[in-house]
Amino acid sequence: MKYTTRQVNHNFKIKVNGTFEGKKVNTLVGVAGFIKMVNDLALAERLLDRAFDSAEDKVVCRLRRGIKFTFYYI
């Protein structure tokens, strides 16, 4: 992975909304929880690239399976 856990946790708060494994989720997660929910390391890296490249205060990424990740820049 391009980014270390420390870099991601230092720069972003990651909020998850939607359904995961049949349960509604609305919580903050760390890098381990984020990778577990995405379940694909390449996709997780693309989402993190998108968040790091953005100049906005927040970046919203929606997956087709009903999960929405919001990266809040700290």
Interhelix angle 41-53/31-38, nearest 10 degrees: 120
pLDDT number for residue 1 = 84
Beta bridge partners of 26: 17
Dist CA 32 CA 1 (whole Å): 12
Domain count, the chain: 1
User: Which strands, in side-by-side order, build the sheet including 58-62?
Assistant: 23-29, 12-20, 67-73, 58-62
Per-residue pLDDT of the chain (74 residues; tens, 9 = 90+): 899 999 999 999 999 999 999 999 999 999 999 999 999 999 999 999 999 999 999 999 999 989 999 999 99
Name the residue range of residue 33's domain.
5-73
